[in-house]
């Protein structure tokens, strides 16, 4: 794909994604003129670029859709379910063609606009206003082959003005007059477009400041890795310098040591700033991900015959790009489960005091060094007894497992678990929630469930905001150095020689509450040692993790374990002294340091 086509595809995909969001908003607020104008502009812009790039199917689809929204915004065509569906189908078709181009398909291999799409767009345009049809041409004009792009066809920020380019290469007299700009921001386009189309006129070239560029994600990831390693090297150098300072230096050697210390401090500061700046370039708002779901929920609810409203909150919350990209499939599974399992049928819901229209809430917020994502519904909730009975019948657990409500709810994460008797196109094949848990824990996150029978269910995902750099507490047990995420560390307490016992298990009273004390050495299978320090873990059920000692805190560059799987450990790092550190999993700590196989064993 050449650079110009690549630029068009990236920009058009952004517009096509926003179109779906605007259409679903328009369905709820038919008289919103701002949304109508935004929809018209989006298709108008995509059509201009597609015409210049000689993509006739996209031009045809956008042209008819542009006519539809021109009729809607002028009041000649009513906002009907057919109009919304036509817009969504057109957006889907355009999006599919753009994705094919993004995946390397040649423009000439793209399929033509299907007749079914043309029919539904025509029906929507006709509506109840014949005048709108008469004013709309039946076929979109085909663009002449592209020659050279006018140098003036640029917008502020250095982006190409596709409409101006399109008009510059299409024979005069074959296009309608340019649309008046619908917003002040679009006004800067008009002089350029006019200059590009006036016969014999020379384009006016304006000096435009470029304040954004596109960078390949692979290059950005490589830069981040180098920045992280530079911080690690600076930290190790600082430790070596501290050890050297224990020796006595005199005269010129002392002066050199002083200069070295100043230089190293400056290098360490700049490497840390470089790392943070690089990390910030990978941060993206979760709204980029969330905006894909309203249409999915709308169409699936329609298929299931349920009336559901998706409420999105906190779309501006930022998280690492890798997390955004990896969360799509897990969230799809969770939304599908909420619609199919959680939300009642219309008859079931009518028998309750709940509103006839169900609500699914998708929410994000920042909490310390973590980003929280919540998927909740006001449906029928989950029955722990039924979950346990189902798991027993499938042979997934033993008779003595999952005795508490919390443990029973966790059963849905077991591979092969499903409460559906008959598989459907939505769920019931025993796949899904185990994939969700695996995907979350792969990125050093954790997921928990809260559910009340008859009231609804809430899934809460906790993920580190930054994947590469994790604030940790360094602890030692049986001589081994380990790190645990600071996100769950509440405080450090001194452990007594002897403990009280409840049911034979050690317990320590902390701030008036009795907390279970668990040995990290015993949990991970290390040799027994004298554990003098306790870490109060801020889990759903708080407890104290006993360790041999605490070595302080550190921001570590975490590398995931790939060659082997160690229960409770999901990565490695290097301390400032260069010592290998095992990183304890956040999910493992939040789950009470229980190994899944032990918890669910017979």
Q: How confident is the model at residue 421 (pLDDT cuts 50, 70, 90)?
A: low
Cα gap 24→30, rounded to integer Å: 10
Higher pLDDT among residues 468 and 338, named by residue: 338
Query: For the segment 186-223, what is each residue's pLDDT rounded down to a tens digit?
Result: 333 333 233 334 434 444 334 444 456 667 778 887 88
At 483 the pLDDT is: 94
Cα separations in angstroms, 73 against 21, 40, 121, 271, 395: 17, 8, 16, 53, 60
Mean pLDDT over all residues of the chain? Answer: 79
At 33 the pLDDT is: 84
At 13 the pLDDT is: 84
Phi/psi region, residue 525 (left: phi>0; alpha: psi -120 to 50; beta: rest), is: left
Query: Mean pLDDT over residues 86-115, rounded?
Result: 90
Cα gap 36→311, rounded to integer Å: 21
For tokens 């800067």, name the residue. Answer: 188
Is pLDDT above 80 for 169? no
At 515 the pLDDT is: 92
At 76 the pLDDT is: 86
At 198 the pLDDT is: 40
Cα separations in angstroms, 98 against 10, 15, 53, 102, 305: 8, 11, 12, 6, 31
Q: Kind of pairing, strands 370-377 and 456-464?
A: antiparallel
Query: Mean pLDDT over residues 165-176, rounded?
Result: 52
Burial class (CB within 10 angstroms; exposed 0-12, middle 13-18, buried 19+) of 497: exposed
Cα separations in angstroms, 105 against 9, 142, 143, 162: 12, 20, 20, 21
Nearest to 322 by CA among 422, 409, 200, 445: 445
Select the highest-mean-pLDDT range: 164-173, 186-195, 287-296.
Answer: 287-296
C-beta neighbour count of 395 within 10 angstroms = 8
Q: In this structure, are residues 460 and 436 in contact, taking their beta carbons and an 8 Å threshold?
A: no
Query: Mean pLDDT over residues 522-547, rounded?
Result: 91
Query: For the segment 299-312, what is each residue's pLDDT rounded down to a tens digit?
Result: 899 889 999 999 99
Query: For the segment 557-567, what is each residue's pLDDT rounded down to a tens digit?
Result: 888 776 677 78
Is pLDDT above 90 for 364? yes
Query: Mean pLDDT over residues 45-58, rounded?
Result: 87
Select the highest-mean-pLDDT range: 38-42, 145-149, 527-531.
Answer: 527-531
Higher pLDDT among residues 392 and 164, named by residue: 392
Higher pLDDT among residues 141 and 272, named by residue: 272
Which range (50-54, 105-109, 182-186) has the least confidence?
182-186
Cα gap 101→94, rounded to integer Å: 11
Higher pLDDT among residues 577 and 337, named by residue: 337
Which range (24-33, 111-120, 478-487) has the least confidence?
24-33
Which range (96-105, 223-232, 489-498) has the least confidence?
223-232
Q: How confident is the model at residue 595 (pLDDT cuts 50, 70, 90)?
A: low
Nearest to 132 by CA among 86, 196, 66, 88: 66
Q: How confident is the model at residue 242 (pLDDT cuts 50, 70, 90)?
A: confident
Is pLDDT above 70 for 185? no
At 451 the pLDDT is: 93
At 458 the pLDDT is: 95
Q: In this structure, are residues 302 and 88 in contact, taking their beta carbons and an 8 Å threshold?
A: no
Is pLDDT above 70 for 422? no
Q: Which residues pair with 502 in a beta bridge?
A: 505
Long-range contacts of 493-496 (CB under 8 A, 24+ apart): 493/533, 493/534, 493/535, 493/536, 493/544, 494/532, 494/533, 494/534, 495/531, 495/532, 495/533, 495/534, 495/544, 495/546
**Proportion of the chain above pLDDT 70, given as a percent:** 81
At 511 the pLDDT is: 86
At 363 the pLDDT is: 95
Query: Mean pLDDT over residues 112-129, rounded?
Result: 83
Q: In this structure, are residues 442 and 326 in contact, taking their beta carbons and an 8 Å threshold?
A: yes
Going by the DSSP 8-state scheme, the letter that residue 1 receives in this structure is: -
Q: In this structure, are residues 453 and 382 in contact, taking their beta carbons and an 8 Å threshold?
A: yes
Q: What is this structure's pTM?
A: 0.63
At 199 the pLDDT is: 39
């Amino acid at each position: 794909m050449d650079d110009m086509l690549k630029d068009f595809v990236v920009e058009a995909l952004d517009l096509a994604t926003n179109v779906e969001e605007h259409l679903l908003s328009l369905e709820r607020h038919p008289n919103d003129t701002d949304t109508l104008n935004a929809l018209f502009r989006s298709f108008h812009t995509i059509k201009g670029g597609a015409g210049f790039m000689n993509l006739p199917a996209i031009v045809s689809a956008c042209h008819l859709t542009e006519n539809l929204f021109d009729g809607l915004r002028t009041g000649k065509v009513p906002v009907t379910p057919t109009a919304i569906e036509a817009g969504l189908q057109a957006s889907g078709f355009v999006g599919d063609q753009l994705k094919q181009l993004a995946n390397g398909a040649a423009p000439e291999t793209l399929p033509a606009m299907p007749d079914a799409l043309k029919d539904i767009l025509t029906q929507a345009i006709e509506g109840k206003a014949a005048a709108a049809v008469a004013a709309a041409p039946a076929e979109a004009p085909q663009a002449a082959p592209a020659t050279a792009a006018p140098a003036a066809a640029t917008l502020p920020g250095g982006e190409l003005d596709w409409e101006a380019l399109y008009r510059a290469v299409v024979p005069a007299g074959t296009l309608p007059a340019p649309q008046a700009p619908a917003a002040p921001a679009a006004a800067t386009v008009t002089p350029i477009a006019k200059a590009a189309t006036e016969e014999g006129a020379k384009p006016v070239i304006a000096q435009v400041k470029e304040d954004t560029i596109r960078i390949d994600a692979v290059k950005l990831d490589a830069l981040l890795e180098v920045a992280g390693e530079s911080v690690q090297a600076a930290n190790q150098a600082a430790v070596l310098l501290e050890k050297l300072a224990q020796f006595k230096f005199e005269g010129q050697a002392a002066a050199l040591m002083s200069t070295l210390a100043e230089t190293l401090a400056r290098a360490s500061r700049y490497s840390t700033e470089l790392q943070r700046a690089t990390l910030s370039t990978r941060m993206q708002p979760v709204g980029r991900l969330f905006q894909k779901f309203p249409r999915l929920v709308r169409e699936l609810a329609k298929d299931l015959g349920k009336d559901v409203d998706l409420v999105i909150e906190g779309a501006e919350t930022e998280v690492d790009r890798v997390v955004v990209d990896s969360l799509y499939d897990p969230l799809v599974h969770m939304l599908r489960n909420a619609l199919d399992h959680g939300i009642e049928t219309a008859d079931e819901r009518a028998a309750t005091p709940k509103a006839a229209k169900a609500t699914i809430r998708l929410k994000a917020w920042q909490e310390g060094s973590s980003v929280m994502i919540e998927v909740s519904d006001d449906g029928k909730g989950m029955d722990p007894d039924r979950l346990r009975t189902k798991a027993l019948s499938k042979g997934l657990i033993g008779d003595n497992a999952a005795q508490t409500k919390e443990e029973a709810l966790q059963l849905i994460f077991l591979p092969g678990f499903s409460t559906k008797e008959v598989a459907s196109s939505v769920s019931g094949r025993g796949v899904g929630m185990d994939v969700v848990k695996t995907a979350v824990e792969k990125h050093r996150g954790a997921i928990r469930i809260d559910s009340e029978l008859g009231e609804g269910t809430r899934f809460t995902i906790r993920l580190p905001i930054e994947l590469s750099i994790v604030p940790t507490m360094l602890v030692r047990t049986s001589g081994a150095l380990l790190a645990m995420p600071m996100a769950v560390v509440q405080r450090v307490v001194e452990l007594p020689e002897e403990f009280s016992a409840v049911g034979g298990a050690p317990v320590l009273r902390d701030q008036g509450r009795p907390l279970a004390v668990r040995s990290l050495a015993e949990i991970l299978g290390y040799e027994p040692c004298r554990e003098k320090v306790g870490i109060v873990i801020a889990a759903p059920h708080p407890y104290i993790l006993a360790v041999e000692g605490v070595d302080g805190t550190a921001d570590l560059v975490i590398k995931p374990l790939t060659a082997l799987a160690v229960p409770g450990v999901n990565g490695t790092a290097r301390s400032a002294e260069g010592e290998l550190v095992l990183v304890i999993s956040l999910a493992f700590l939040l789950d009470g340091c229980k190994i899944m196989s032990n918890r669910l064993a017979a």
